[in-house]
A and B are shown apart, each in its own frame.
Chain A
Amino acid sequence: GAGVSQSPSNKVTEKGKDVELRCDPISGHTALYWYRQSLGQGLEFLIYFQGNSAPDKSGLPSDRFSAERTGGSVSTLTIQRTQQEDSAVYLCASSSIRDTEAFFGQGTRLTVV
């Protein structure tokens, strides 16, 4: 596609449920990032995928968070047993060596009630 696509755009879930957030990066981009942004706040790095290398998971806040990137393209961020503090906008971005800058999706707004 023309840009980074994230789905769903909004998700409301009950505390304790699992959620999956999807990111479709720009075709051909080898790097993919997940960030979290609380209301009006900065970006919190979660995880970074680079080609076939082992992902940089250093930003995942707990073992309830995990992410996969299948076939070097689509990525899924999974949050298990959601808590109210998980409520935030989850942003995905992708980049390539040639383009240098990262391109962001519109984000998924997650609300845990």
Chain B
Amino acid sequence: AQSVAQPEDQVNVAEGNPLTVKCTYSVSGNPYLFWYVQYPNRGLQFLLKYITGDNLVKGSYGFEAEFNKSQTSFHLKKPSALVSDSALYFCAVRDTGLNSGGYQKVTFGTGTKLQVIP
């Protein structure tokens, strides 16, 4: 079974400082990995994804994430945080193992609240 862990319920960072939101995963095969963001009273928006290729993936709003196969991690990063980045962030995984067939189920983590302090 596939699973995702976001070990931090909340991350606080000062504006202008680099930020990291952690995510680890477990799958039987190769993973597709995703980050979504949810601003207050809004739906979930897709930020970026890792499918294959370069381990460093760049996405919207200056965010990037690094796929680390040995550590089964996909941490979200941004070099300089903005107050407007304050939101709820979700990591997600989809298994592409041989036994997954056409199964497309995406499993989400429990979310990490990012608070950027002015």
A interface vs B, CB < 8 Å?
30-31, 33, 35, 40-43, 45, 48, 50-51, 56, 91, 93, 95-97, 100-107
Contact = CB atoms under 8 A, between A and B. Distances in A.
8 contacts: A31-B104, A42-B90, A43-B90, A43-B111, A91-B44, A93-B106, A101-B46, A103-B46
Q: Is the interface of B mostly helix, strand, loop or mixed?
A: strand
Nearest to A96: B104
B105 A50 contact: yes
B103 A43 contact: no
B22 interface: no
Contacts of B110: 42-43
B57 interface: no
B108 A42 contact: yes
Given A31-B105, A50-B105, 4 more contacts: A30-B102, A43-B108, A43-B110, A102-B92
Given A50-B103, A51-B102, A107-B43, A100 B108 contact: no
B34 interface: yes
A100 B32 CA distance: 8
Given A50-B102, A97-B102, A104 B111 contact: no
A42 to B, nearest CB: 4
Given A42-B111, A105-B43, A95 B106 contact: yes
Contact of A104 (B44, B103, B105, B109): B44
Interface string B70-107: 00000000000000000010101010000000111111
**A30, A43, A48: which has the most chain B beta carbons within 10 Å?**
A43
B34 A101 contact: yes
Contacts of B32: 100
Given A42-B111, A91-B43, A56 B105 contact: yes
Contacts of A40: 88, 113
A41 B109 CA distance: 11
B33 to A, nearest CB: 10
Given A30-B104, A31-B105, A50-B102, A101 B49 contact: yes
